[in-house]
Amino acid sequence: MIRSIISKVFGRKRSASGTGARILPRAEHGISRNGIDDCALKVCETLAASGYKSYVVGGAVRDLLLGIAPKDFDVATDATPEQVRKLFRRSRIIGRRFQIVHVMCGRETIEVTTFRANGQKESEEEDERPTDEHGRLLSDNVFGSMADDAARRDFSINALYYDPAREEVHDYFGGVEDCRKRVLRMIGDPETRYREDPVRMLRAARFAAKLDFRIDEATRAPVARLAPLLANIPRARIFDEALKLLLSGHALRGVHQLRAEGLHHGMLPLLDTILDDPTGERFITAALRSTDQRIQSDRPSSPAFLFASLLWPQVATRWRALESAGEKPQPALFLAMDDVLDAQRHQLAIPRRYDGMMKEIWALQPRFEQRGGQRPYRLLEHPRFRAAYDFLLLRAESGEVEAELGEWWTRFQEADEQARAGMLTADSGPKPRRKRRRRKSGEASDGEAQPA
Ligand code: ATP
Ligand code: MG
C-alpha cells in the first residue's frame, strides 16, 4: 500500500502545488529572503535545481511573520529521503519508521522532511490509519502531497510554506490571518487531532505562552476533558515537551498556562502543591523568571538547574520536617533529596542523568551558612559554586533565607583578600541553621512550631 502511495505522489512531482492553498506574494506577507538562514536557502536551491519542490516550513515561517528570530529552519520537499541524501554530501537519514534527512552545512543542520500524509486520504482504502483505542495514531510514515503535508500539521500558523525562489507563502489554513489576530487554531477537528496525538495539547499551551497568543475557543474546549490521555504517552516524550516549554524563554507564562488548562497533571504534577504554598510560589516564580531572562538574553540555562528549582519547594518542606523530627541539617537534607527524587520518578520522570547536578546544587545550600574560617574559601572553589550561588539567590528572593545571606556571598566574591578576611564570622564551625539545631535526641520534636 505504501509503495502505491509513494509512486502516486512522486509520479506527480511536478504537478501543480497542493489544492486549496492561498499564495501570498512578498507584499502581503512581508518576509524577506534575507531573513532565511543561508544553509536553508542553499538546501532549497539545490532541491529546486533538481526539479523538486522545496519550502521552508513550520516554526521558522511563523516566527518570521511575527518578527521573531527563528530557532531553526526546517525544509519540506517532495523528494524522498533517499533522493535528498544523494544531493547533499554532508547529509544523513535519521529515523527508521519516519525518516528525515539532516543536511549539514558549516556548524548548522537543516532538517529536511518529505511531504507526509496523515489527514484523510483520497480513497477510503487508504484511510485505514492504525490508531490505539483512544484514537492515537500509531504510525504516520506515509508520504503524501504538499496539501496532505499541510493537513497533518498541528496549528494553522505551523502550516505555512515559504518558497524562497519566488518569495511566496503558501497558506492552507488561514495561518497568516491567525498570526495577525494572534490566535492559535488547530487544523481540522480539535478533539480528533488531540486523540491522534495528545502531545498537541501541551504544544498548544507552549505556543500560546511563547507567542502570547489566545487559544481559539474550539481548540481550547476539549483540552480539559482530554488531558488524561497524556497518561498514554511515553515519559521521555512528555519530558522533551516539558523541557521545550521550560526553555522557551516563556516558562513562567507557560507553566501558568499549563495549570490553567489542567495539563500539568501529566507533566508537572507537583505544580499544585508548589503553587498553593506562598514560599513555593515565590521561589518557582523567581526561578522561572530568571530562566526566562537568561534565555531571552542568550545566556545558557541548564535543565538540571531548572529541575532542581522545580523540585526544591518539596525538598525544602521535607528537609524542614525531618529537621523538626530531630535530624541534623545535612543528613536531613540528604534524606529529603532522596525522598523527593524517588517520588518524582513515578510522576514527572526527570531522567537520572540530571540527578548528580541537582543533588550537588541542593547539597551545597547549607554550606552557604558557614561563614567562618576556611569554609567560605573552599565553597568558592567548588565546581558547582556558581550554580549553587544562583540557587541561593533565588531562595533569598523568595524569602526562604535572609536576603542578607545572598548579599554577603555577592560581596564576598567581589571583595579583595583583605576585605574577605574582615567579612568572616567569628566562629569557624558551621553556623547553626536554626535555633533549635542543637536539640538532643529524645527531646520532643513533632508538633512544635518551626521558627520562621
Ligand atoms: P519551535 O519554534 O518550538 O521549534 P516549531 O513549530 O518549529 O516550533 P517543532 O516541534 O520544531 O515546532 O515542529 C516543526 C513543525 O512540525 C511544526 O511547526 C508543525 O508543523 C509540525 N509538528 C510538530 N509536532 C507536531 C505534532 N505533534 N502534530 C502535528 N504537527 C506537528
Ligand atoms: Mg522547530
Helices vs. strands in the chain: H and E counts, helices first: 22, 12
The reported pLDDT for the residue numbered 351 is 85
Q: Which of 152, 161, 155, 156 has its CA nearest to residue 205?
A: 155
User: Please, are residues 253 and 212 in contact by the beta-carbon 8 Å criterion?
Assistant: yes
* Res 414 pLDDT > 70: yes
| pLDDT tens readout for residues 364-413 | 999 999 999 999 999 999 999 999 999 999 999 999 999 999 999 999 99
Q: Please state, as a whole number, how many other Cβ atoms lie within 10 Å of the Cβ of residue 119.
A: 20
Q: What is the longest distance spanned by two Cα atoms in the chain?
A: 85
Question: Cα torsion for 387, 389, 390, 391, to the nearest 10°?
Answer: 90
- pLDDT at 4 > cutoff 80: no
The strand order across the sheet containing 22-24 reads: 22-24, 168-171, 160-163, 54-57, 74-77, 108-114, 100-105, 91-94
Q: Dihedral (C-alpha) 361, 366, 367, 372: value to the nearest 10 degrees?
A: 160
203 CA closest ligand 1 atom index = 27
What lines the ligand 1 site, CB under 6 Å?
Answer: 58-59, 71, 74, 153-154, 158-159, 197, 199-200
> Does 273 score more than 90 pLDDT?
no
Q: Which ligand is nearest to the CA of 244?
A: 1
Pairwise CA distance, residues 73 & 59, whole Å:
8
Residue 387 corresponds to which cell in the numbers above? 550554580
Cα gap 158→173, rounded to integer Å: 10
Atom of ligand 1 lying closest to residue 159 CA: 20
pLDDT score of 344 = 80
User: Cα–Cα distance between 116 and 146 in angstroms, integer?
Assistant: 8
For residue 110, list its beta bridge partners. Answer: 103
| CATH architecture group of domain 303-423 | Orthogonal Bundle (1.10)
**Strand pairing partners for 170?**
23, 161
Query: Has 72 been annotated as catalytic?
Result: yes
Q: Strand, coil or helix: what is 162?
A: strand
Determine the distance separating the centroid of ligand 2 and the alpha carbon of 25, expressed in angstroms.
24
| Whether 446 is catalytic | no
Residue 427 pLDDT grade (very low, low, confident, very high; cuts 50, 70, 90):
low
pLDDT at residue number 439? 46
Query: Sign of the C-alpha dihedral, residues 223, 226, 228, 233?
Result: negative
Q: What is the CA(165)–ligand 1 centre distance, in A?
A: 23
Q: Which residue's CA is the nearest one to ligand 1's atom 7?
A: 59
- Tell me which of 116-125, 182-191, 310-319, 386-395 is least confident: 116-125
What is the pLDDT, as a whole number, of residue 141? Answer: 64
Cβ neighbours for 152, distance < 8 A, ≥ 6 positions apart: 116, 117, 118, 119, 140, 144
With a pLDDT cut of 90, the percent of the chain lying above it is 70
Give the residue ranges of DSSP H helices in 329-384: 329-345, 355-363, 375-381
140: annotated active-site residue: no
- Is the pLDDT reported for residue 122 higher than 80? no
Backbone conformation region of residue 299, classed left if phi is above 0, alpha if psi is from -120 to 50, else beta: beta
Give dist(CA 165, CA 438) in Å, integer. 75
Per DSSP, the three-state class of 372 is strand
SS3 content of the chain, % helix, strand, coil (to 5): 55, 10, 35
At 155-212, the pLDDT tens digits run 999 999 999 999 999 999 999 999 999 999 999 999 999 999 999 999 999 999 999 9
Catalytic residue among 154, 171, 178, 292: 154
For 293, other C-beta atoms within 10 Å of its C-beta total 13
Q: What residue segments make up the domains of the chain, in order of their start? A: 1-181, 303-423
Q: Whose CA is nearest to atom 14 of ligand 1?
A: 58
On average, the pLDDT of the chain sits at 86
Q: Which CATH number fits domain 1-181: 3.30.460.10, 3.40.190.170, 3.30.360.10, 3.40.190.10?
A: 3.30.460.10
For residue 294, report the distance from its CA to the centre of ligand 1, in Å: 24
Q: Which ligand 1 atom is the nearest neighbour of the CA of 197?
A: 27
Atom of ligand 1 nearest to the CA of 118: 29
Note the pLDDT of residue 449: 34
What is the pLDDT confidence band of residue 271, given thresholds at 50, 70 and 90?
confident
Pick the residue with more confidence: 80 or 239? 80
pLDDT band at 99 (very low <50, low <70, confident <90, very high): confident
C-alpha of residue 58 to centroid of ligand 1, in Å: 6
Task: Give this prediction's pTM.
Answer: 0.82
**Ligand 1 centroid to residue 155 C-alpha, Å:** 9
- Cα distance between residue 167 and residue 452, in whole Å: 63
Catalytic position from the list 63, 74, 148, 216: 74
Ion ligand 2: residues, Cβ under 5 Å: 59
